[in-house]
C-alpha cells in the first residue's frame, strides 16, 4: 500500500491477537485505523503477519471455539473481522519511531513514513528456540515440539507420555510443573549442573515424583520425521552424545520482545526489553502511545490476554483522541 501523506488518527503496529483486536475496536469507533501488519521474517526466529499463532496447529483454549481451531484459521477470523469494520492494512515493518515530534512519525522498512496522532504498539514477543536440527520444523508442523506448555501441554498427544523441557530458569520450572499433571515423566534438561530458577520453583517441581533433572546436556537434534521420537543430547562436559526417547519437547528458554524498532523512540522499556506500562493501563510513558499484548506482558503470554489488552488499548486510545479533540 502507498502510504497517505495525511495524518492518521491511530496506527496499530502488529497483526497478532492484540493488534487485530485493537483494530476491531478502533474501526468500530469510526477511527479508520491503519494496521501495519509486519512482513515475514525468519531470523533469529520465525515471525509472520498474524503473529505467534501462525506457527501453531491446534488452539484449544481460545474461548468461543468449543472444538478447537487452528492458529492460522483463528487469525484469519481476526483479520476478516477487523477489515469488515474498515481497518486499512499496510504490509510493511516499522523500523523506527519518532515520538518526540507531533504528529508522530513512523518509518517503514520500504522507506516510506507514516504520520500519526496516536499509536498502539502490538508487536508481540517471539519464543526463543535452541536452534537444534528439526526443532522448528516439528514445532511448526504439529510434530510434538512446542514453546508453550500452558498452550499445548493438555493436548491428548502429550497425556500419559514422557516429555522433555529445555531450560533452567523460573519459566522452565513453571512449564515443567504444569506438564507433570499430564505426563508420565518430565525430563528437565539443562546445560549446566544447577538451575538458575528460584529455590521455591525448583522445590515445587521436584516435589512431583515424575520430574527428573538431566544436567549438563545440550539439545543438538530432535529425532523424528512427522513426530518427535527422541532428542539427541550432547554432554557439555565430556562432549559425549546420547539419545533420550520422548514423545514431546517443550523449549522454555525465554522470549524476545519485538521492541528493537523502538530504540531511540523514548518509549520506556523494562530491564528485559518489554514495553513498560502504567499500572492497569495500556498507556506508555509517552502521551498518545499505547501498548498491548505480549510486547508488554512477559507474564501471561496467551492469545486471549493479548486480545483483551488490545481491546483495552483501543478504548484508552479512543478516549485519549476524544480528549484531545482529534476526530
Ligand X SMILES: Cc1cc2nc3c(=O)[nH]c(=O)nc-3n(C[C@H](O)[C@H](O)[C@H](O)COP(=O)(O)OP(=O)(O)OC[C@H]3O[C@@H](n4cnc5c(N)ncnc54)[C@H](O)[C@@H]3O)c2cc1C
Q: Which residues bind ligand X (CB under 6 A)?
A: 13-19, 36-38, 47, 49-53, 55-56, 59, 61-62, 93-94, 122-124, 127, 139, 146-148, 151, 258, 261, 293-295, 301-304, 306
- For this structure, is 90 an active site residue? no
Active site residue 247: no
Closest to 105 measured CA to CA, from 288, 300, 318, 291: 288
- Tell me if residue 8 falls in helix, strand or coil: strand
By DSSP bridging, strand 162-166 and strand 34-36 are: unpaired
Nearest approach, Cβ of residue 42 and ligand X (Å) = 12
CB-based burial label for 2 (10 Å; 0-12, 13-18, 19+): exposed
Instruction: Catalytic residue, from 90, 151, 247, 297: name it.
Output: 151
Nearest residue (CB) to ligand X, 19 versus 202: 19
User: 148, 247, 294, 297: which one is catalytic?
Assistant: 148
Nearer to ligand X, 189 or 306 (CB): 306
Identity of the residue, 58 or 235, whose beta carbon is nearer to ligand X in the bound complex: 58
Residue placing its CB nearer to ligand X in the complex, 115 or 202: 115
270 labelled catalytic = no
Q: Closer CB to ligand X, residue 142 or residue 202?
A: 142
**Nearest distance from C-beta of residue 25 to ligand X, angstroms:** 14
Closest CA to 20 of 48, 49, 60, 63: 49
Q: Do strands 162-166 and 248-251 pair parallel, antiparallel, or not at all (unpaired)?
A: parallel
Output the smallest distance, CB 237 to ligand X, in A: 31
Write down the H helix ranges in the chain: 17-28, 71-84, 135-140, 149-152, 170-179, 199-206, 303-323
Per-residue exposure over 252-274, b if at least 16 CB sit within 10 Å of its own CB, e if not: bbebbbbbebbeebebebeeebb
Q: How far is the CB of 141 from ligand X (least distance, A)?
A: 11
- In the complex, minimum distance from the CB of residue 241 to ligand X, in angstroms, rounded to a whole number: 27
d(CA 325, CA 319): 10
Of the CA atoms within 13 Å of residue 278, those in its CB half-sphere come to 13
Which residues, at least 6 apart from 289, have a Cβ–Cβ distance to it below 8 Å?
99, 104, 118, 119, 121, 267, 283
* Cell matching residue 11: 496506527
Residues carrying an active site annotation: 148, 151-152
Amino acid at each position: 500500500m502507498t502510504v497517505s501523506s495525511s495524518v492518521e488518527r491511530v496506527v496499530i503496529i502488529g497483526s497478532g491477537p492484540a493488534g487485530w483486536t485493537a483494530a476491531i475496536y478502533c474501526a468500530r469507533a469510526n477511527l479508520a485505523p491503519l494496521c501495519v501488519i509486519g512482513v515475514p521474517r525468519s531470523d533469529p526466529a520465525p515471525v509472520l503477519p498474524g503473529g505467534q499463532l501462525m506457527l501453531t496447529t491446534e488452539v484449544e483454549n481460545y474461548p468461543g471455539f468449543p472444538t478447537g481451531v487452528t492458529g492460522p484459521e483463528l487469525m484469519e477470523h481476526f483479520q476478516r473481522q477487523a477489515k469488515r469494520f474498515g481497518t486499512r492494512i499496510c504490509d510493511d515493518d516499522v523500523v523506527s519511531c519518532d515520538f518526540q515530534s507531533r504528529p508522530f512519525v513512523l518509518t517503514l522498512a520500504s522507506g516510506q513514513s507514516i504520520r500519526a496522532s496516536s499509536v498502539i504498539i502490538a508487536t508481540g514477543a517471539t519464543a526463543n528456540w535452541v536452534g537444534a536440527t528439526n526443532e522448528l520444523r516439528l514445532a511448526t508442523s504439529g510434530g510434538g515440539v512446542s514453546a508453550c506448555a500452558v498452550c499445548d501441554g493438555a493436548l491428548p498427544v502429550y497425556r500419559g507420555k514422557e516429555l522433555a523441557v529445555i531450560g533452567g530458569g523460573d519459566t522452565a520450572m513453571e512449564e515443567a510443573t504444569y506438564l507433570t499433571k499430564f505426563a508420565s515423566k518430565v525430563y528437565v534438561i539443562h546445560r549446566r549442573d544447577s538451575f538458575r530458577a528460584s529455590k521455591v520453583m525448583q522445590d515445587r517441581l521436584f516435589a512431583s515424583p515424575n520430574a527428573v533433572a538431566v544436567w549438563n546436556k545440550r539439545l543438538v537434534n530432535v529425532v523424528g520425521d512427522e513426530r518427535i521420537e527422541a532428542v539427541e543430547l550432547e554432554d557439555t562436559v565430556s562432549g559425549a552424545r546420547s539419545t533420550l526417547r520422548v514423545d514431546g519437547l517443550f523449549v522454555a528458554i525465554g522470549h524476545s520482545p519485538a521492541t528493537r524498532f523502538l530504540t531511540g523512540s523514548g518509549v520506556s522499556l523494562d530491564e528485559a526489553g518489554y514495553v513498560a506500562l502504567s499500572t492497569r493501563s495500556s498507556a506508555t510513558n509517552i502521551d498518545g502511545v499505547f501498548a498491548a499484548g505480549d510486547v508488554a506482558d512477559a507474564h501471561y503470554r496467551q492469545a486471549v490476554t493479548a486480545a483483551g489488552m488490545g481491546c483495552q488499548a483501543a478504548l484508552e486510545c479512543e478516549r485519549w483522541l476524544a480528549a484531545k479533540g482529534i476526530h
